[in-house]
Amino acid sequence: MAQQEMGYQDDNDGQERSLSEWQQELQTPFPRRPEWAGASVETSYAGPDLLYDPGYASHSARTLRHGDYTRRSAPLIDQVSNGWRNSEKTAGFYAAEPEDHDLRLCDLEDEGSCPNTTADLVRSRRFRRMLAVVLVAAVVLYYSWRWYLQPRLQEEWDLKQGFMPARSNGTYGIARAGHFEGTAIKWLDPELVPGGEGDSKGNRRLVFVGDIHGCKKELLHLLEKVGFDAKTDHLIATGDTVSKGPDNVGVLDELIRLKADSVRGNHEDRLLEAAKTLLGTNLPPESAAATSQGYAKDAKLLRELKPKHMRYLRDMPLMLRIPALPHASASRRKDKDRVHENIIVVHAGVVPHVPLEKQDPYFVMNMRSIDDRTHLPSALRETKKGKSRPWMEIWNWYNDRLFRGRSLKGFHLYSADEYEEEQLAESQGWLGSLWDGVFGTGKAKMKPQVVVYGHDSKAGLQMHRWSKGLDSGCVAGGKLTAMVLDAKGKTEIVQVGCKNYKT
């Protein structure tokens, strides 16, 4: 409404005029009304310039001031002139508009435009310093991920995958596998446990010895060095007490005399199997040419052994278990010199997570490595085709996990009982499992165990938190090792040198 009062060109919007001026305006007569020819008429309008005609304007102002819209007033379009066509655009038309920032940003000539400011920024020293710091940090972060963090995470993942059914189709420990003739699992006589019921003062000791292989002199030397006292100490051999060495019968006699325990090793296994066909027959011995050198040597040894030796060999169990020592001090995660948990003594090794009853006897007496994915053991250090690792690596990883109370959810199951336990654990809901995942379950259903073994002379003495390998290659000129365990759970390693008996 204010536009129509005094015309567009007037800066004065008409509201600051004096009263007299207003009166003068209102009293002038209305001029000749222009013919309204309609919208199709050209804009060259012959009539009075409505914008500049004060009379018309005031009339319309008068009428409009009353708030009516009157048809007699022309459409607004008629008031638009084309004078703008004639006016020249000024040179800095666009630049003169201060609100139009977007159009100004990319002009390279202007000081404040975007490319110029960026260039200034880049050239500035402070910015370059900052950039250098960021780049160095990025490089450090990247390589530390690639060389340090990522391999560790990958390793952890790979180790875990071997236990999961998701990746593999079945696993070791499900099939029936071989069978063992004799006692498979034997618990140590409770009277002999240090600190146990027969030893309230905690004086007893257990002496574990690696592969003796008929080295009687070295064995006696070692027992002397350990200070072996038959009244308080008990000797436990890790198998392979005979074969290869100079005095096999002597070693057996000594072990029988000391009432020592031993687990069955692969050489004892061979002897016992051969005995089934060779003993009790009067057939002439088969030559090495018809059989093999090993077989011929076994046959020769069998002829020297007496029934009491055969009985002793047959009595050797596959695995010997020793309960956790009652007086042992508290467990620590990384302490290699103490044993507080249950001990399993075997000749070569055991596969983690598989129940002891399901372990194949041949592998328990011969394994050196296990397959990454299926956990199938092998007597070789590295299988020719599959990917294998030393079995004690995985054993230690697994028992460390048990020690920390980490969950075994998703791991393979071997019996209906385990399956029911898992179902029970799952039913506790997500909050319970979250709690367990963060803080660890208070009560571990499965307890970690320490394995004492022999068999691997090339690897030598292997002392880890959860596995103790005691075969230091005595018969080949290495050492004969003993691990002495006292009632407090402390272990001590004693070694003697050996002569080379390998021909």
Partner 1 sequence: MHLPLGLLACFPVVVHSIIGIPTHPPLEPLPRRDAPVLGVGSRSHRRHQNAYPDEPDKYFHEADFDRHYDGRFANKRLSYDERRKHLTALMQTYLSTMNDIGAETWIMHGSLLGWWWNRKILPWDSDIDAMVSEKSIHHLADYYNMTVHHYQLPGLDEGRDYMLEVNPHYINDSMESANKIDARWIDTDTGLYIDITTLRRNRTAEARGVEGAMMVKDNHHYMYDDIFPLRESKFEGCPVNVPFAYSEVLIEEYREGALSQTVFAGHRFEPETQEWIPLRHAVQQNKLLPPGP
Interface residues with partner 1 (CB under 8 A) are 168-172, 174-179, 270, 273-274, 276-277, 291-295, 360, 362-363, 366, 371, 373-376, 378-379, 383, 385-386, 414, 416
CB of 286 to partner 1, least distance (A): 10
Integer CA distances (angstroms), 286 to 29, 274, 297, 298, in order: 150, 12, 10, 11
Residue 286 or residue 393: which is nearer to partner 1 going by CB?
A: 286
Residue 204 or residue 368: which is nearer to partner 1 going by CB?
A: 368
CB of 328 to partner 1, least distance (A): 36
- Cα dihedral value 40, 41, 44, 45, nearest 10: -130
Q: Provide the token pair at 30.
A: 């209305």
Look up residue 356 and give its amino acid: L
Residue 168 or residue 407: which is nearer to partner 1 going by CB?
A: 168
Q: Helix H segments across 76-124?
A: 101-104, 114-123
Q: Sign of the CA dihedral 389, 355, 272, 257?
A: positive
Place of tokens 């272990």: 491
Residues 494, 225: contact at Cβ < 8 Å?
yes
CB of 388 to partner 1, least distance (A): 9
CB of 284 to partner 1, least distance (A): 14
CB of 295 to partner 1, least distance (A): 6
Backbone dihedral angles phi then psi of residue 70, each to the nearest 5 degrees? -115, 140
Residue 113 or residue 183: which is nearer to partner 1 going by CB?
A: 183
CB of 169 to partner 1, least distance (A): 5
Integer CA distances (angstroms), 217 to 78, 246, 471, 500, in order: 129, 9, 17, 13
Tell me which long-range contacts 88-95 makes (C-beta under 8 A, separation of at least 24): none
Residue 206 or residue 313: which is nearer to partner 1 going by CB?
A: 313
**56 Cβ partners below 8 Å, 6+ apart?**
30, 31, 48, 50
Look up residue 190 and give its amino acid: P
**CA 261: distance to chain centroid?**
40
Q: Collapse the DSSP code of 378 into the 3-class scheme (helix H, G, I; strand E, B; otherwise coil) and give the result.
A: strand
Residue 7 or residue 173: which is nearer to partner 1 going by CB?
A: 173
Residue 76 or residue 416: which is nearer to partner 1 going by CB?
A: 416
Residue 275 or residue 487: which is nearer to partner 1 going by CB?
A: 275
CB of 449 to partner 1, least distance (A): 23
CB of 492 to partner 1, least distance (A): 36
Q: Sign of the CA dihedral 209, 214, 217, 220?
A: positive
CB of 317 to partner 1, least distance (A): 18
Backbone dihedral angles phi then psi of residue 90, each to the nearest 5 degrees? -75, 155
CB of 501 to partner 1, least distance (A): 19
Residue 270 or residue 406: which is nearer to partner 1 going by CB?
A: 270
Place of tokens 């029970």: 424
Distance CA 60, CA 36 (A): 15
**26 Cβ partners below 8 Å, 6+ apart?**
58, 62
Residue 172 or residue 411: which is nearer to partner 1 going by CB?
A: 172
CB of 170 to partner 1, least distance (A): 3
Residue 36 or residue 362: which is nearer to partner 1 going by CB?
A: 362
Residue 378 or residue 481: which is nearer to partner 1 going by CB?
A: 378
Residue 112 or residue 178: which is nearer to partner 1 going by CB?
A: 178
Place of tokens 């008629």: 78
CB of 288 to partner 1, least distance (A): 8
Distance CA 50, CA 88 (A): 24
CB of 175 to partner 1, least distance (A): 5
Residues 341, 450: contact at Cβ < 8 Å?
yes
Residues 493, 502: contact at Cβ < 8 Å?
no
Place of tokens 């072990």: 255
Distance CA 44, CA 42 (A): 5
